[in-house]
Amino acid sequence: MNPVAAFPYVYFLGIGGIGMSALARWFQANGHQVSGYDRTATPLTEALAAEGIAVHYADAVENIPAAVRENAPQTLVVLTPAIPAGHQEWAWLREKGYDIRKRSQVLGLLTQGQRTIAVAGTHGKTTTSSMLAHLLHHAGVDCSAFLGGISVNLGSNLLLPAGRGGTTAQSRSTTIVEQTGSAAISNDSGTTTEKVVVPPTPVVVEADEYDRSFLTLFPDVAIVTSTDADHLDIYGTQEALIESFRQFAGQIKPGGTLLLNHTADARVAAAVPAGVQVIHYGLEATPEANLYAANVTAHGHEFRFDVHSPLGNLTDLQLTVPGFHNVENMLGAIFAAQLEGVPAHKIAAAVAAYRGVKRRFEFIVTTKNKVYVDDYAHHPREIEAFLRSLRALYPQKRLRVIFQPHLFTRTRDFAPGFAQSLSLADEVVLLDIYPARELPLEGVTSELILSQITAPKKSLQTREQAVRAVATDDDFDVLATVGAGDIDQLVPQLQTILTSRWHETQA
């Protein structure tokens, strides 16, 4: 029995989060009555409302739906760590004895008994998990996926298996009686003709290291894309972060597989249980790497490459979502797809059809001579990978970057790294820090980064000033908006301005 089946009502505190909304959609598709609170309306919360999920934005107990208030024993409350300690609804739900669980705990419950492929890493996990979900879905593998971003191909952050109300990977000509073990297959006349073993439907999960959330998962296959220092407000030191990744790797099921990026801490691999296969992967052939790319070249927006894999090599793959880091992410996704039995020709077709994740190297405006790209990068390593890839695509072009730092603690901990990576641009515009769940820290402002940037031109601007500057001065060939806060709200404005201005110029 599904461990959450006892809860006909599910209430979300922070329903607009990308991971929370995927869970909300899952419960809605599986027949639960779903509702929730979030601080502000966004396109994502509006999409949930359009799908029949009740969402409100004022923190007040009377706004909780009556069905939830009147049925405490039958209600599951799902909580995001972003909800502040003084939240009125949360306090009332605690006082009334509701079953309140973190998002990660619920995700752990939903993946129990399933073949789980978990993608972890301080950066790269959203792209890699979306790539894998797409490869399996495009190849006709019946699967589900909980993603930390909106897949362009799927149009959602949730993929459901066939017959569960979601996107259908393929139509079936047979009737599956049981999901696992021996199952009867009925022919058109309804007569049982044979017994077969039906493999469990795989589920792709983005495994978040924040707050040690991924330790609720026990995967069959784990991909670790990176273990760079991050979330030091939670971990304190990088050593503590590495130890958490080691625990995660230690939870891989017997006979499973760990795919470890060559940049990740090697100690993670030493923690896997006996019998777990370890695959090291990266862009280049090294003594450690047994999965790597070769002949990586850029052709316009497209990257082409070969794959050397223990499960079979692939040649001349075409990836239309650019970036050396995206080629590396695709390596992990390809090997995981090979583990699921996807043949080479289907992998090649799926790679060519992949269109990325919203706000990951997303081309917003493209003309003959100028380009505007938006990206979610919010860690120095991510920014460096993004800007180096832009430079490879557009050598000798003048690059302006508008960056919004995310979190006071992250700015404090990594200001020199941010400055170094942003200095790859010709011009850097810094916005104020997006606080998210944090309160301000004394002395921590965007000036910490600005003072160390060595780009030829740099400035600290408000959001309004940055938009106005683009409208009045387009002395650049490539514009990039970068960050994980609410900088995405500027994208439609900048798109309108640049589409009008650049198209008029070329008319």
Binding residues for ATP, by number, are 121-127
| Amino acid residing at 359 | R
Whole-angstrom Cα distance, residue 117 to residue 126?
13
**Contacts of 165 by beta carbon, 8 Å cutoff, 6+ apart:** 29, 30
Q: Which tokens is 60 given?
A: 């007040």
Q: Are strands 257-261 and 221-224 parallel, antiparallel or unpaired?
A: parallel
Whole-angstrom Cα distance, residue 491 to residue 107?
31
Rg of the chain (C-alpha set): 23
Q: Are strands 371-375 and 362-366 parallel, antiparallel or unpaired?
A: antiparallel
In Å, how far from its chain's centre is CA 88? 30
Q: Which tokens is 90 given?
A: 């949360």
- What sign does the dihedral 113-114-115-116 (CA atoms) show? negative
Residue 100: in which H helix or E strand, if any?
strand 99-102
Q: Are 185 and 165 in contact (CB under 8 A)?
A: no
Place of tokens 């625990």: 247
Helix axes 324-339, 125-138, angle to 10 degrees: 50
Place of tokens 């923190």: 59
Binding site as annotated, residues: 121-127
Whole-angstrom Cα distance, residue 354 to residue 351?
5
Whole-angstrom Cα distance, residue 404 to residue 395?
24
Q: What angle do CA 103, 107, 109 make, to 5 degrees?
A: 120
Q: Which tokens is 73 given?
A: 């024993």
Q: Are 374 and 480 in contact (CB under 8 A)?
A: yes
Q: Are 418 and 405 in contact (CB under 8 A)?
A: yes
Whole-angstrom Cα distance, residue 398 to residue 391?
9
Residue 338: in which H helix or E strand, if any?
helix 324-339
What is the phi/psi pair of residue 221, to 5°? -130, 130
